[in-house]
Amino acid sequence: MKIVIMGCGRVGSRLAGMLTDDGHSVTILDTDAHSFQRFLPGFKGTALVGNGTDEEALKRAGIEEADVFFALTGGDNRNIMAAQIAKHIFNVPRVICRIKDPLRQELYSTLGLETFTPTTLFAQMLKEKLEG
C-alpha cells in the first residue's frame, strides 16, 4: 500500500518504520528536518520537509496516489485540517487522525472522520492495569 504520514514525532517515525518493514511504500512529512533523526537505522521510506496542511506539500508527498493518510502531529487542529484535506480534496480512501482532546474527537468522528484519541485510550489502559 502507498501510505502518507504527517508528523514525524515518536509515534509517526515508529509507525513509518513498522510499515516499511512490512513492505509498504511510506512517505512521511514533517515541518522540521531534525525530526527525521528519529528514524531507526535502515529506514527505507521517504522523508519530506513540508507542512501537511498545505495542498502542494501533500501533492509532493504523493497524496493523490495514496491509499492511506495518517495525521499524527502534536497539534489537534493541524491533524484535523490535514485529515479533512486528504479526505475531501484528495479523496484518500482511508484517513486516520489523532485528536488528543476527547470532546473534539467525538465531534469529528460524528462528522465522519476516522479519529482516535490517545488520551482516552491511555487512561483506559491505566485503569485496566490497576484493576488487574
Partner 1 sequence: MYVIVVGGGRVGYYLVKALLDEGHEVVMVEMDARVCEAVCDELGSVCFHGDGCEVATLTEVGTDRADMLVAVTGDDEDNLVACQVAKHRFNVPRTIARIGNPQNEVLFKKLGVDVTVSGTSVILEHIEEEVPTHPLIHLMAIEDSGLEVVEIKIPPEAATVGKSVRELSLPRDSKLALFIRKKGKNRVPTLNTIIRAEDRVIALTTPEAEEELRVALRGE
Residue 11 near partner 1 by CB under 8 A: no
Quick check: 18 binds partner 1 (CB under 8 A)? no
CA-to-CA distance for 106 and 74, rounded, in angstroms?
18
Quick one: 2 or 78, whose CB is closer to partner 1? 78
Phi and psi for 102 in degrees, rounded to 5?
-60, -35
Site residues for partner 1, 90-129, by CB under 8 A, read 101, 103-104, 107, 110-111
Which C-beta is closer to partner 1: that of 46 or that of 51?
A: 51
For partner 1, the binding residues (CB under 8 A) are 53-56, 75-78, 80-81, 84-85, 88-89, 101, 103-104, 107, 110-111
